[in-house]
Amino acid sequence: MSQDAYDPHAIEPAWAERWVADGLFTAEDPATSAKPKFYMLDMFPYPSGDLHMGHLEAYTGGDIVARYKWMRGFNVLHPMGWDAFGLNAENAAIKRGINPRTWTYANIEQQAESFKRVGFSFDWTRRFHTCDPEYYRWTQWLFLKFREAGLVYRKSSPTNWCPKDKTVLANEQVIGGLCERCDTPVTKRDLVQWFFRESEYAQRLLDDMERLTGWSERLLTIQRNWIGRSQGADVTFTIAETGDELTIYTTRPDTLWGATFMVLAPEHPFAERLTAPIRRDEFRSFVDRVRSKTEIERTAAGHAREGIFTGSHAINPVNGEHIPIWLADYVLMEYGTGAIMAVPAHDQRDFEFARQEGLPVRVVIQPDDARLDADTMEAAYEGEGLMANSGDFDGTATPGGIAAVVKWLEAEGLGTGRVRYRLRDWNVSRQRAWGCPIPIVHCPRCGEVSVPEDQLPVELPELTDWLPTGTGQSPLAKIEGWVNVPCPSCGGDAKRETDTLDTFIDSSWYFFRYAGPSQDAAFDTESVARWMPVDQYVGGITHATGHLIYSRFFTKVCHDLGLVPFAEPYPNLVNQGDVVMDGSKMSKTRGNLVRPSAIIDDYGADTARVTMMFAGPFEADVDWADVNPQGVYRWISRVWRLGVAHAESIAAGPQPAGDSPLRRATHRAIEGVTGDVERFRFNTAIAKMMTLSNEIADRKDAAEADVCEAVVALVKLLSPFAPFVTEELWHRWGNATPLLRAPWPDADPALLTVETVTMVVQVLGKVRDTIEVPAGIGEDEMRERALASDNVRRHVDGKEIVKTIIRPPKLVNFVVK
Ligand code: ANZ
Ligand code: ZN
């Protein structure tokens, strides 16, 4: 092979190594750097195996931005690390007998090598893994800070439980209601678990969305619905048989007069007592059945409902009526008060349940355009109208009626206006061994005692037995030497907490530690204040209701604790699409998995990167079945040959001047690609570069200086996408400093102006007007502009145009009759 043929394998490994060795991607200290800062953050990976196509897609996008910003003169922070605790490692340990630590770090090394091979511009000096004790020490520290601030509590809560394996299951291990390992139906088991008071931040999470100006409307809507603000009233009923007060939450207090029965969640604290006198066994098996259903099965409309009558009644405070109290699956304990008044005429789920059980229906809202009849209606009427059968409120219009009723309830002491949120407190306990230990000691005398800061981290013990305990505790509970410790407070015998923290806590603060690495703090607050908020975040929309809410909540708490001076971590966020194959998700079991390493082996990393970015809009899904790495490889080879062919004249430093079609094409490309990169339109940016390379090939007569200018611009524009081939050319042209430190090209406005020509408009061969038009004008636009001329109109109006002769761009002639 000649020395000048394009051979990515001869170019790429050496540059990959040299960039890292030279510290090319190391961020400068923002306190002393003269450059403005730019924090480019990618969601960090989970080390479950080698790189997959999704990584290539997401990280290439982020890498283009980071490299572009360096060339634009920014001091760029583009860090990388690993979200390294979690279930996969533990599963590997159980299945294959490998220590999770060994498995995890081996995968991390493999991914790190692949990242370098692809040429990602990560600042490796800031790398960490959330399973490093130096990291989780500070995860524990933050847990304790949250606890001091009153944001942590413990309560009993249902967890997934496999009765056969006798183990707690994470949500990911429940597939279609069955245990992932043995297909046994999963039940719920109550365990005492740790919670963060995330719901206290619900309103702020909503309000601050207006600062998230760089988030898509789609993502904001998902979060808004997840937080689920609703406005209504708590109303207190009395249980006729016991005298207990039963508070319900309703968003429609204007329908109080239409309540014909009550429904409690089967988990409601009153449920067992109210049913006890009549049917204990029936109650028990009912509760078990309901609790094995998912929330969606329980609440979706159109499902068969399951319920039982308790035998007790409630007294409606607005009219003194006694109405039956039922238990049913569709009322959830976790929302509102876990109890509702059922208004079947105006709530669809209540309606379905009433018809199923033969319970009465009473219309209390009449729509403007129809008269509802309780006996014949086939669905609930949930809209607005006039109140009816509602005593003094008859004739009041909704929605004003809601406010009027709330005001009256408050005056009468029967209820209070309430705002509620769907967002629940965050259960952070996991009964798993490969996680961050919760730094708490349980003492029979002192209760729950925080491990003192100077004793952190509470390190994970060496484990050999990863099998679940069968008691609902993590395997850590089996290590007696680790569990039994003196109480930090009284020194007596005590036991460590054996639950570990949800790994989403690890990923809720990692971006602080990248920005302010520190030996003796979670993060250096001054550095964090300099670098953050993140300027651009890139990651999957699958995290909309998980990581992207948890980390916002964490940042707000850190703000309130005085640790950071901002309340939103990343106001600009782009969600890349997924990579699929023939329309379905790539997976090992489907046998449609393509590995980035295979493409890189065949064509090199530059081709892999450009192919991925050229496959479609960054935010849309990419179907790998449709892409063409060969085509991209051929194009990159052409760019290479151009760079090699003109190397000598480029090295001589030619000075292009004046106007020429090629110079115009070059500056149009600079302008277009720059705008596209700014807006994540990587596929159209590549198309524009391809156009420029065609122009260079087509303009055989262009001046050599103009060709050199075009080739240099092309190579610079391409460099964030294909960093290796461009760097190699750049050096062959005699440049000693890396291309990443070269300035991004600027378009010359003088060369962006559009050339114009004079278009003559004739009617029957006589000149009626002359108009200045762009040189590239098309026939349709010529006809339109000609007919817009007053003088032309005067000669064609009222006549029939039988023929139009058009000679672009200079002549239009109308033949009229
Ligand atoms: C009576 C009523 C009449 C209702 C009517 C609606 C329409 P959002 O908007 O989502 O907040 N509800 C309250 N707590 C519940 C629970 N724990 N499980 C299931 N459903 C519950 O929904 C509030 C409405 O959902 C409440 O208003 C209540 O039904 C029901 F014409 O009360 B409504
Ligand atoms: Zn104690």
Antiparallel, parallel or unpaired: β 37-42 and 75-77: parallel
Half-sphere exposure for 692 (CA within 13 Å, toward CB):
33
Phi and psi at residue 306, to the nearest 5° = -120, 130
CA 4/CA 728 separation, integer angstroms: 11
Cβ 644 vs Cβ 733: under 8 Å: no
Kind and range of the H or E element at 193? strand 187-196
Q: Do 80 and 141 form a contact (C-beta atoms < 8 A)?
A: no
- The strand pairing partners of 437, in sequence order, are 500
Name the residue of 230, 290, 340, 350 to mutate for ligand 1: max ligand atoms within 8 A of Cβ.
Answer: 340
353: left (phi over 0), alpha (psi -120 to 50) or beta: alpha
Listed in sequence order, the residues at least 6 apart from 66 whose beta carbon sits closer than 8 Å to its beta carbon are: 25, 38, 40, 76, 78, 121, 720
249 C-alpha to center of ligand 1: Å? 7
Q: How far is the CA of 520 from the centre of ligand 2 (A)?
A: 28
C-alpha 310 – ligand 2 centre gap (Å): 45
Share of the chain above pLDDT 90, in %: 79
Ligand 1: residue whose CA is nearest its atom 19: 331
Q: What is the enclosing helix (H) or strand (E) of 313? A: strand 307-315
CA distance 125 to 107: 19
**Distance between CA atoms of residues 765 and 148, nearest Å:** 90
Residue tagged 């109006």 (tokens): 797
In 3D space, the residue among 360, 412, 363 whose CA is nearest the CA of residue 254 turns out to be 363
Six-digit token pair at 241? 């048989």
Report the nearest-CA residue for atom 1 of ligand 1.
250
Polymer length of the chain: 817
The bound ligand whose nearest atom lies closest to the alpha carbon of 450 is: 2
Closest residue CA from atom 2 of ligand 1:
252
Structure tokens that stand for 586 in this block: 């790539």
State in Å: Cα 450 to ligand 2 middle. 11
Q: Which atom of ligand 1 is nearest to the CA of 299?
A: 19
Q: How far is the CA of 425 from the centre of ligand 2 (A)?
A: 28
How far away, in angstroms, is 493 Cα from ligand 2 center?
Answer: 8
The tally of CA atoms less than 13 A away on the side-chain side of residue 669 is: 29
Contact between 46 and 434 (Cβ < 8 Å)? no
Phi then psi dihedrals of residue 450, to 5 deg: -65, 140
Q: Is the CB of 252 under 6 A from ligand 1?
A: yes
Number of neighbours of residue 389 by Cβ within 10 angstroms: 16
The SS3 assignment for 27 reads: coil
- Rounded CA-CA distance 764/796 in Å is 10
Query: What is residue 685's three-state secondary structure?
Result: helix
Does the beta carbon of 381 sit less than 6 angstroms from any atom of ligand 1? no
**pLDDT score, position 582:** 84
Residue-level pLDDT at 556: 98
Got the DSSP string for 589-618? TTT----HHHHHHHH-HHHHHHHHHHTS-T
Reference 326, options 354, 299, 304, 300; nearest CA is: 354
Place of tokens 């990515």: 8
Contact 606, 724 (CB under 8 A): yes
CB of 251 closer than 6 A to ligand 1?
yes
Cβ 250 under 6 angstroms from ligand 1: yes
Q: Name beta bridge partners: 580.
A: 585, 623
Ligand closest to the CA atom of residue 492: 2
Residue 108: CB partners within 8 Å, gap ≥ 6? 47, 82, 84, 129
Ligand in nearest proximity to the CA of 445: 2
Q: What is the pLDDT of residue 1?
A: 38
The tokens for 771 are: 């108009």
How would DSSP label each residue in 435-467? SEEP-EEEETTTEEEEPPGGG---PPPP-S--S
Residue 724 tokens, joined: 């290796």
Report which protein residue has its CA nearest ligand 1's atom 29: 250
Residue ID of nearest Cα to ligand 1 atom 21? 331
Burial annotation 794-809 (CB, 10 A radius, 16+ → b, else e): ebbeeeeeeeeebebb
Ligand 1 atom 14, closest CA? 336
Q: Is the CB of 227 under 6 A from ligand 1?
A: no
pLDDT-flagged residues of the chain (< 50): 1-2
Tally of helices (H runs) and strands (E runs) in the chain: 27, 33
Q: Whose CA is nearest to atom 8 of ligand 1?
A: 230
Expressed in angstroms and rounded, the spacing between residue 259 Cα and the centre of ligand 1 is: 12
Ligand 2 centre distance from Cα of residue 487 (Å): 5
Q: From the CA of 350, how far away is ligand 1's center (Å)?
A: 10
Residue 423 Cβ < 6 Å to ligand 1: no
Residue 618: both structure tokens together: 């960054």
Q: Count Cβ atoms within 10 A of the Cβ of residue 766 and give its class: 0-12 exposed, 13-18 middle, 19 or more buried.
A: exposed
Beta strands 622-623 and 579-581 are parallel
CA distance 632 to 629: 5
User: What spacing in Å lies between the alpha carbon of 561 and ligand 2's midpoint?
Assistant: 28
Asked if 248 and 340 touch (Cβ cutoff 8 Å), the reply is yes
Identify the DSSP state of 816.
E
- Per the CB < 8 A criterion, the answer to whether 238 and 314 are in contact is yes
255 lines ligand 1 (CB under 6 A): yes
Q: How far apart are the first and last CA of the chain?
A: 71
| Each residue's pLDDT tens digit, 459-503 | 999 888 877 777 888 899 999 999 999 999 999 999 999 999 999
Helix (H) or strand (E) holding 194: strand 187-196
Centre of ligand 2 from the C-alpha of residue 445, in Å: 5
Q: Is the CB of 248 under 6 A from ligand 1?
A: no
Q: Which residue has its alpha carbon closest to ligand 1 atom 18?
A: 331
pLDDT at 140: 98
Task: Locate the ligand 1 atom nearest the alpha carbon of residue 365 and give its number.
Answer: 31
* b/e 544-571 (16+ beta carbons within 10 angstroms → b): bbebbbbbbbbbbbbbeeebbeebbbbb
Check if 735 has its Cβ closer than 6 Å to any atom of ligand 1. Answer: no
- Tokens found for residue 274: 């109210």
Q: In a 3-state reduction of DSSP, which class is residue 247? A: strand
pLDDT at 278: 64
Q: Are 283 and 220 in contact (CB under 8 A)?
A: no
